[in-house]
Every structure is written in structure tokens, then in C-alpha cells.
Amino acid sequence: MMLMLERVWNLIAWYLRPLFKWLLRKTTRLCEMQRICYGQPAGALRSIGVEESMKQSRTKTVIDLMSYLDQKANERRFLGPSRAQVIDYSVFAILKVKGIKPEIHSQFVRSISVCLDQIWGYRQLSAELEHLRRTPYDAAQPEHEAKLRQLWSLLCPETELTERISPQWKDIGFQGDDPKTDFRGMGVLGLDNLL
């Protein structure tokens, strides 16, 4: 019964939300994202509000913008100088589609920029962690081997590792003589976390 009531409520909300947003826009002269940016203190609640507003948007430009930002984050290209360009482009698209004048609402421009940076910066971080988790430890990779030697020297600075595959690894908690087998589930992320 509760599930059915929830579905009915969601259906009603789906149809009434645009009307409610329109009424608020006419009375406050601010779009939903502006009301969130002006009404919430800086931080996670503001960014979550902007993200939810964008997710529920029916505006094609906003939907396309979210896909574009998701693509940049998933490809781990939401960084460095291109990050600022992506955010500037995104803010410009929002200003244009919402009819917001940046010279009048400069605080909104700063706030929405920070929100977009936080939302898609977090999504990129998640993509990067997933990439590391899926990257298996490879003994043929010098970088992986160097990290493993560094781990040994950090954990046992007073003891020299006799060989790469050695029972010494069991002494510090690894399951077998070859520590690479312990990184099967978490890949290189497991080794990075230990470091």
C-alpha cells in the first residue's frame, strides 16, 4: 500500500513540479538553481541541491550539459586547465538557458561554478578510484614493483627484503609468499591504500 501511495505521489509531483517552479520563478524572479545558490550556505547541501535540480530538469540543454560533464568525469578529463574551461562553458550554458544576466548575478556565477566543480570533481574522483580498482597488480610493471618495494621499506625499515617472492611477506600479514595475490580484489588501489 505504501509503495503504491509513493508511486502516486511521485506521479503527481512529476506533473506539479513544473507548475510549482513556474510560480516560484514568477514570484521570486529567480530560477530554482538561483534560489538554491542564494538560499543555501556554501558547501555540500548547496551542491546537492544544485545536482538534484539538474537531475530533475526537463530542459534539453541542462540534460545535455549533465551528459557532457558526466563524460568528462568518466574519462577523467575533468582536471587541470581544461577543468576551468569545462566549468566556464557549463556556467555559460546555464546562464543562457535560464536567462540569467551574469553582470547582475555575479554571486550566482561564483556559486554555481563551485557547485559544478564539487559535483563533477567528486564524480571524477570516483571514476579514478574505480579505474585503479580495476587495474590488476602486474609484476611486469616497474611502477607496481616500485610501490611494493616502497611498502616493504615503510613497514619494515630495519629488515631487508631477501627476494621479491619471499615468506617474509607472511610475517607482515600477507597471505602467501607473493604479495601480488592479495591485490586481486582491489587491484592497484589496494596497494595505493596500503602506501
In this structure, which amino acid lies at residue 54?
M
Number of domains in the chain: 2
Lowest mean pLDDT among 33-37, 40-44, 74-78, 159-163: 74-78
125 and 64 in a common domain: yes
pLDDT for the residue 100: 93
Residue-wise pLDDT tens digits, 139-148: 999 999 999 9
Q: What is the separation of C-alpha 23 from the centre of its chain, rounded to a whole number of angstroms?
A: 33
Torsion angle, alpha carbons of 142, 145, 147, 148, to 10:
180
Residues whose CB is less than 8 angstroms from the CB of residue 191 and which lie 6 or more positions away in sequence, other chains included: 137, 144, 147, 148, 151, 183
Half-sphere exposure of 169 (CA within 13 A, CB side): 16
Residue-wise pLDDT tens digits, 43-83: 999 999 999 999 999 999 999 999 999 998 888 887 778 88
Show the domain range for 149. Answer: 142-194
Is there a domain that residue 5 lies in?
no
Is there a domain that residue 10 lies in?
no
**pLDDT above 80: residue 14:** no
64 and 118 in a common domain: yes
Question: Above pLDDT 90, what percent of the chain?
Answer: 61
